[in-house]
Amino acid sequence: MAADYKKITHDGLWGNNPALVQLLGLCPLLAVTGSVVNAIGLGLASTLVLMGSNLTVSAFRKFVPDAVRLPIFVMIIASFVTAIELLMKAFTYELYLILGIFIPLIVTNCAIMGRADAFACKNPVKASLLDGFMMGLGFTAVLVVLGAMRESLGLGTLFSDMHLLFGPMAEGWKITLIEDYPGFLFAILPPGAFVGMGLIIALKNIIDARIKARKVEPDVGARPERVRVTG
């Protein structure tokens, strides 16, 4: 079966986006998107785990008995998460402290389990790797958009504390949108994440509806008028 790479890419980033369409992995999505740096950190970690697990699951798909596939997937995912956790501890320790429990909790992120079970265990390695990458990228994109929304609304800044992830060169990346912003705590707290997420999903649905409407329109004009030939 020749994998349709274009479709995989489109599905991961938009059509079947894990956060916006499948609504998977909402727990970390809602919990850590208080700022852009948290969002990127968690997004990258999830993407790496997703790619690793998809690759491994796909490579071993012929040897995994169907009855015990889920425990095996969990063990594969857990080992990748442990590796990522140790990496983050080594290189981005402060960010690791901020993200805290949500790094180990990537194991339970349904998006990763879902891709392993729905895609990787039925498809060849190359397609699975691409699927993991694109799904991870789609997930990260939503995290970043939500993080940017909540950070700008809640604190009046963008890209603050980016040096936690990108080192000293990112010290000056912080943009203060409004001076003396009083802060809007609601956006930073979890309910703000739910409302923000709802708005992003609504936006996606609007865009989809527009695209659909545009595709249909010329079709309507081209349809031949019905001609009565009898009676």
Chain residues binding another protein by CB under 8 A are: 182-187, 189, 191, 195
Nearer to another protein, 28 or 192 (CB): 192
Please list the residues that pair with 157 across neighbouring strands: 176
CA separation for the pair 32, 104 (Å, rounded): 13
Considering the complex, what minimum distance in angstroms separates the CB of residue 178 from another protein? 11
- Residue 10 Cβ vs another protein, minimum distance, rounded to whole Å: 29
Q: How far is the CB of 189 from another protein (least distance, A)?
A: 7
**Amino acid letter at 64?**
V
* 97 or 199: CB nearest another protein: 199
216: which 2 tokens?
A: 């249909």
Q: Please, which residue, 15 or 198, has the CB nearer to another protein?
A: 198
Residue 46 near residue 28, CB atoms below 8 Å: yes
Residue 155 CB, shortest distance to another protein, in Å, is 12
Length of the chain: 231
Q: How far is the CB of 220 from another protein (least distance, A)?
A: 22
If the CB atoms of residues 112 and 197 are measured against another protein, the closer one turns out to be 197
Centre a 10 Å sphere on the Cβ of residue 189 and count the other Cβ atoms it contains.
13
The whole-angstrom separation of Cα 180 and Cα 172 is 19
CB closer to another protein, 31 vs 74: 31
Q: Which is nearer to another protein, 182 or 218 (CB)?
A: 182
Residue 230 region by backbone torsions, left for phi larger than 0, else alpha for psi between -120 and 50, else beta: beta
CB of 206 to another protein, least distance (A): 12
Report the b/e string of 82-100 with b at 16+ CB within 10 A.
eebbeebeeebeebbebbe
Element (H, E) at 163: helix 163-166
